[in-house]
Amino acid sequence: MSIEKDFIVIGSGVAGLTFALKVCKFGSVGIVTKDALEESATKYAQGGIASVMAEDDSFELHVQDTMQTGRGLCHEDFVRIACREGPARVRELIDLGAQFDRIRGAGFDLGKEGGHSKRRILHANDLTGWEIERTLIQAVHAQDNIEIFEHHMAIDLITQARLDEKIQPGSDEDEALGLYVLNHQTQKVVTMVGRVIFMATGGAGKVYLYTSNPDTATGDGVAVAYRAGAKIANMEFFQFHPTCLFHPKAKSFLISETVRGEGGILRLQNGDTFMENHHDLGCLAPRDVVARAIDYEMKTSGDDHVLLDATHLEGYRIRERFPNIYKTCLEFGFDMAREPVPVVPAAHYMCGGLVVDANGQTNIKRLFASGEVCSSGLHGANRLASNSLMEGLVLSHRAVEKVVNLFKEPKNFKNSLDRIPEWDPGSAVDSDESVVVSHNWDEIRRLMWNYVGIVRTTKRLKRAERRIQLLLEEIQEYYWNFKITKDTLELRNLAITAQLIIQGAMTRKESRGLHYNLDYPEPDDANWKQDTVFQNTVHRLITQTNPRIVTHE
């Protein structure tokens, strides 16, 4: 089965929906999302969206906060673009119907989070992400030119290099034509062809044992694009959110940084405060500092969690400002207004990803990306809180302006469609060894947590590198022998993403931002004030007899 669209969007969070909504005026759009349309990391974003909206704030201050938090690796040109264009994109959301909290008669109720010098966080209580997602979904459903493919998962990109062995993957001659997609409800594979492929698949928190991310965050976009020859940068910088609820059934429920922004205090289990020993900003230090401090204090004391204390704040303030957090904590037996809440760090945000320019363009023509899946230069070595939703809005808007010009270029996609073979499972059979998938999935997440976590050593990284290579070989063999399933594809993507994180961490011989190696505890500006970039250049052809990937060294 083949489907042809002008624009194919992979992912349905703020980045993907923003692009789809704006580009549908110029052609047909297909949104591919592997779960229900609303199921994305955006939906679960609590804190808010950073934007200069107050009179005592400025673009320059937002730029400085972002650059300082990024530890020297932010791309200043794009930081300035994002901070300056952010307010206009936020106002577009408001015009669509997004309702952010306001102070009666005094404008927006702006919050403050770690690393910010001013109050600039717009929020909808503690469900900001859902308010944005709801608004965009409602607008998307009102468009006749957008078709939504729920429960469809990208398998691999189809590029010119995969049809022509003379073209090097990721070279100037290479361009994206479409992708193979698994409908995992029917187990049928669909061939989709488009003038532009837009990657907005989000992050990869599920690569770690403990994460605040939804189950969809398995690194799909990074792995799919990497296999096709896209450049991937800075994967060693994985942000761990300092405060997730510590409870065996809470599934690492995130407690927003805004709780500390409103005055919440971190304490040891004996009641002592500790953040003043780690940073001048105390509990409002950047996330890398706070997560590392908690990790250190837990290892020093032997405790399995620390406490987030908001009991000194007025009870109504907690219940009204954080209704969802308060309600969820109460469901697990903790009344935030009366007792400190146990918290631990958990994997939260992937600061690396597909290398893109200021318009979301990757090194592969007609392949664009926005949101957490990409590396735009905004976050550097550590993301400033609440900059992520803003980045998705800005970059997706700029990508539309770029792809509209591409859309005008003549191209005979009928010829491309004719050249692309339909998916053929070959001799693959139904699996009777699904335990392999669950076992390898669990092993990857544990080795990443233990060896490539908040604090690393060269010895641990080498162990992780050896083991991930063996796992990749096992997974590849499994992939070839058995018919694909959603679980198989996620495991395959998870392993490749883990490998890229390990490679980045092994390569960077310093400590900077989110990457902390005890063997190289200081930053090394002379040698490492630069991005770490990886690109797969192994030539893979799609053949008529087997459109799965055939490797030619």
User: Which residues are tagged catalytic?
Assistant: 287
SS3 call for 97:
coil
Amino acid present at 459: K
Neighbours of 16 (CB within 10 A): 30
Q: Which amino acid is at 168?
A: Q
What is the DSSP annotation of 189-221? EEEEEEEEEEE-----GGGSSSBSS-TT-S-HH
Q: Which residue do the tokens 């939703």 mark?
A: 389
Residue 33, helix vs strand vs coil: strand
Residue 35, Cβ density class (10 Å: 0-12 exposed, 13-18 middle, ≥19 buried): middle
Is residue 225 within 8 Å of 362, Cβ to Cβ?
Answer: yes
Taking every pair of C-alpha atoms in the chain, what is the biggest distance, in angstroms? 70
The values of phi and psi at residue 37, to 5°, are -55, -40
Paired sense of beta strands 374-375 and 353-355, if any: parallel
Taking CA atoms, 195 is separated from 95, 203, 367, 493, in Å, by: 30, 25, 9, 25
Please name the residue ranges forming H helices in 382-485.
387-408, 413-419, 435-451, 458-481
b/e map 39-77, b = 16+ CB within 10 Å: bbbbbbbbbbbbbbbeeebebebbbebbbbbbbebbbee
Using DSSP's 3-state secondary structure scheme, residue 462 falls into helix
Which helix or strand (DSSP H or E) is residue 323 part of?
helix 323-331
Shortest CA distance to 296 belongs to which of 68, 463, 506, 454? 454
Do 374 and 356 touch, CB atoms closer than 8 A?
yes
Q: CA-CA distances (angstroms) from residue 529 to 186, 355, 425?
A: 48, 17, 45
Q: What gap in Å lies between CA 57 and CA 283, rounded to an integer?
A: 22
Q: Which amino acid is at 367?
A: L
Token pair recorded at residue 479: 């992939």
Q: What is the DSSP letter of 397?
A: H
Q: What is the DSSP letter of 422?
A: P
Residue 392 near residue 82, CB atoms below 8 Å: no
> How far is the C-alpha of 426 from the C-alpha of 189, rounded, in Å?
13
Q: How far apart are CA 110 and CA 183, in angstroms?
A: 42
